[in-house]
Chain A
Amino acid sequence: MENIISVKDVTFFYPGEETATLKNVSLDVYKGEWLSIVGHNGSGKSTLAKLLNGLLLPHEGTVNVSDYVTSREDDIWEIRRQVGMVFQNPDNQFVGTSVKDDIAFGLENFGVPRDEMIKRINESVQRVGMEAFLDQEPHQLSGGQKQRVAIAGILAQKPSVIVLDEATSMLDPIGRIEVMETVRELNQNEGITVISITHDLEEALSADRVVVMKMGEKAAEGVPDAIFQQRDLLKSAGLDLPFSLKLSEALRRQGVELDRGYLTQEELVDALWKLA
């Protein structure tokens, strides 16, 4: 599979800190995949995210985005255009006074001509389903809508990767679903690579691959099926088990003879039905 991002032997310190926030982390991100990065608070996952588009630079090692390197100053704008970030707090990333202005802001920074700008703004709001809100002010939008505008701002730059840094953790359940469905469509229909830093295990379950971070190191990497069967690993990384796995275990304790732990409710209902 083709790499879109390669992180090689990266070590990172915050100024004044004695211990490294990231220790010798290597990671390949494949083109078009949905990669979830999970881990406890302080495991280094958000720091890792900020290294991916050069908001932070590694002290050792390299971060490559296709043919570009984050440590090369001439490459940084192209990297930031290709790798868009959506952060946690919807209120901290709205810069314009209307949806339209907010998306235009990013394009102005890249010197996109006006006609082209208008075209891209209209396209990108449609792709996140916010076309009815073009002239709305930020305070009239819900958290989920603000995050969708942030995503539209990224789309207008024609990115190849979207990084979600706990982008749904401050949203209510409906806002969360709104944002995740928007991103899922972009991933599936347009082939945009998604890297999602999350505490939401149900979300990680539907990823193509999962990376587990623990104390600044990469503790595991693999498909959800393999990762979520490793209960000790998850526990030690401050994570919980997904609901259906916990229920599978509890059912076994009740003497129900399940052949394995199931990851989704549908699979588990079917397995129980066959036992009955």
Chain B
Amino acid sequence: MEISIKQLEHRYMQGTPFERRALHDVNLDIPHETFLALIGHTGSGKSTLIQHLNGLLKPSAGSIRMGETILEAGGKKQDLKPLRKKAGIVFQYPEHQLFEETVEKDIMFGPRNFGMSEEEAKKTASRVIEMVGLPQTVLSKSPFDLSGGQMRRVAIAGVLAMKPEVLILDEPTAGLDPAGRVEIMELFYDLHQKNKLTTVLVTHSMEDASKYADEIAVMHKGELYLHGKPREIFNERKALQEAGLDVPETVQFLLKWNEKSGQHLSLSNFTIEELAKSLGQALKKRGS
């Protein structure tokens, strides 16, 4: 699904003495099947932005087009169910939202709410539990008897059960150990590719942004501050630092090396392997 955001403005508590402008003049097109990383300092507006993508917040000015649905300031009240079915949000610490007696019921809750039959919802639960790498036996357990990592997978399964076309992920790996973090990110990346999703990932990890994203959007003080391919964004270290961010570790290392050696190496991607290759070649050249 293509997402098109035009001159979006959002004011919290509009018309009260507490009014605060959280977003201003945001223009962003996210083409179908794009994996977009949304980065920015706390309070930069990224959470406000993604809450517009399934109609949890309404624009104070401007508009958002999500496929067929248009959300605009002052627009008529519309049925947001179709949009919410297509745009699934995995919130921060999604395991805090589990509530049913069994994992199966918890996963079935969304689909049942959207009119799926009991039988079909059960089938869906059994399908998605496998997608998130948990055994079928988990379905009959209480979600609260699972480990933190398992609970998070169940919560994610609940979102996948809606078969979303757009996946909005708000720091989905916060609080997980390093191995769990890699597993969950690989799971989303795999889904993104296989199901041809449009994915928006909110993250503080420049490593994840550089590894998975086709495009990066940087928010700063409620505005879209930078937008481009990872290699374009990570060329802007000064600008990133002004926004309270930094480049990935591989780039930090390369800059340290360039400073020491007087060389001007650059990277075509930001993996450790690429960095090692580029340093290895540079050393050989000097040696010969």
Using a CB–CB cutoff of 8 Å, the interface residues on chain A facing chain B are 39-42, 88, 142-143, 166, 169-175, 199, 201, 235, 238-240, 243-244, 246-247, 250-251, 253-256, 265-266, 268-270, 272-273, 275-276
Contacts and interface: CB of A to CB of B under 8 A. Distances in A.
Nearest to A243: B249
B37 to A, nearest CB: 14
Nearest to B41: A172
Question: Which 10 A-B pairs give the minimum distances between C-beta atoms?
Answer: A254-B280, A250-B276, A240-B178, A238-B179, A40-B177, A238-B177, A172-B42, A42-B147, A243-B249, A251-B276
Contact of B175 (A40, A170, A247, A251): A170
Contacts of A169: 174-175
Interface of B: 41-43, 147-149, 174-180, 182, 204, 244-246, 249-250, 252-253, 256-257, 260-261, 272-273, 275-277, 279-280, 283, 286-287
B166 to A, nearest CB: 24
A270 B257 CA distance: 9
Question: Which of B176, B177, B273, B287 counts the most A-chain CB atoms under 10 A from its CB?
Answer: B177
Contact of A42 (B149, B182, B260, B287): B149
B283 A173 contact: no
B41 A251 contact: no
A145 to B, nearest CB: 10
B190 to A, nearest CB: 20
A273 B280 contact: no
A265 B256 contact: yes
A250 B261 contact: no
A130 B287 CA distance: 53
Contacts of B280: 251, 254-256
13 contacts: A41-B148, A42-B147, A169-B174, A174-B244, A243-B253, A244-B253, A247-B253, A250-B272, A251-B279, A254-B276, A265-B252, A275-B283, A276-B261
Nearest to A256: B280
Nearest to B248: A243
B16 to A, nearest CB: 15
A276 B283 contact: yes
Contacts of B180: 40-41, 238
Nearest to B147: A42
Contacts of A270: 260
Given A175-B42, A256-B283, A276-B261, A247 B276 contact: yes
Given A41-B180, A265-B252, 16 more contacts: A39-B177, A40-B179, A42-B148, A142-B43, A170-B174, A172-B41, A172-B42, A173-B244, A174-B42, A238-B179, A240-B179, A240-B182, A254-B277, A256-B279, A269-B260, A275-B283
A254 B177 contact: no
A90 to B, nearest CB: 10
Contacts of A199: 175-178
A269 B253 contact: yes
B272 A247 contact: yes
Contacts of B245: 173
